[in-house]
Structure 1
Amino acid sequence: MSQLVLLQKRIHDEIPLSRALGIELQSWDGRTLVLSAPLEPNRNHQGTGFGGSVYAAAVTAAWGLTELALSDLGLKGHVVVQSGTIDYLEPVASDFFVVCRLPGGEIPERFRKSLARHGKARLDLTAEVFCGTPSPVPAGEPVAVFQGRFVVRDVRSGR
């Protein structure tokens, strides 16, 4: 099974809300994670995306990217969100997707060094939410932008 399929199963098994929200991992290229969610189970009383659902999808994308980056380094650890904020720029009026990228397109050297020296590290990530068909290179502007800090601790070899 691919790394993405394994993480999808883990997310649905360990984060039951993700299944209820319909979160599906779409792609991972070693730098960018894309996940999608349907509007219907995530709508509010206005018929647009419920803020909590949009936030949960964005946090899941950033958490998932951190997990995948660790795996790419041959490591496992406990990943938790330390802090996060989201700006809702436009209503989520259709099925939506989240794009989360490694800063600068690669695992930061400071993050790698902290993992190696201390067995823990922090990673600041941005996850952008878009409406429409999932793509790692969205055509339009984001409808919401999440900024979060993720902490990795108890790092060990994953092989």
Structure 2
Amino acid sequence: MTQLALFQKRINEEIPLSKALGIQLISWDGHALLLSAPLEQNRNHQGTGFGGSVYSAAVTAAWGLTELALADLGLRGAVVVQSGTIDYLEPVEQDFYVICRLPGGEIPAKFRKSLARHGKGRLDLTAEVFCGVPTTEPNNQPVAVFQGRFVVKDAHSRVSL
């Protein structure tokens, strides 16, 4: 089973809302996480994306990116969202997807150093929500933009000695 498939299984078990929302992890390349969600399971009374569902998918993408980046460093830890805001720019009128990228395309040096020295760190992330077929290179503007800070505590090696 691939790293992404194992992580999909984990979030479905540990975050039941992700399964209810129909969140599917599409790709992780070490720099960006791409996930999708169907409109039907996430619609509001007007037939467009429910704000809470869109927010939850965006938080899941940013949280997931943090978890996967830690794993790529050979670490595990307690990852939580400290703060988050979202701007809804356009209605979500079809299936949607979220892209969350590492700042500057890589794990920030300050974050790495803090994890190494203190076993904790903070990561500020942006997740963009788009409508349509999932791609890491969208040719349209996002319908929503999430900004959040994620905190990692108790970071330690994934391998026990």
**How far did residue 2 of structure 1 move?**
1.2
**How far did residue 158 of structure 1 move?**
1.0
Runs of 4+ in 1 over 2 A off after TM superposition: none
Q: Tell me the equivalent position of 1:17.
A: 17
3-state secondary structure, aligned to 1:141:
coil
Residue by residue over 1:130-153, the C-alpha shift from the partner in whole angstroms, topping out at 9 and shown as x without a partner, is 000001111100000000000000
3-state secondary structure, aligned to 2:56:
helix
Residue by residue over 1:40-70, the C-alpha shift from the partner in whole angstroms, topping out at 9 and shown as x without a partner, is 0100001000000000000000000000000
- Runs (5+) with no aligned partner, structure 2: none
Residue by residue over 1:29-49, the C-alpha shift from the partner in whole angstroms, topping out at 9 and shown as x without a partner, is 000100000000100001000
Q: Tell me the equivalent position of 2:140.
A: 140
Which amino acid is 1:147 matched to?
A: Q
Q: Tell me the equivalent position of 1:95.
A: 95
| Matched positions, count | 159
Q: Does 2:123 align with 1:126?
A: no
Identity of aligned residues (%): 78
Measure the CA separation in 1 of the matches of 2:3 and 2:86.
28
Measure the CA separation in 2 of the matches of 1:21 and 1:155.
29
Q: TM-score, normalised by structure 2?
A: 0.98
Q: Tell me the equivalent position of 2:54.
A: 54
Measure the CA separation in 2 of the matches of 1:139 and 1:29.
20
Measure the CA separation in 1 of the matches of 2:33 and 2:139.
16
Which amino acid is 1:113 matched to?
A: K
3-state secondary structure, aligned to 1:134:
coil
Q: Tell me the equivalent position of 1:30.
A: 30
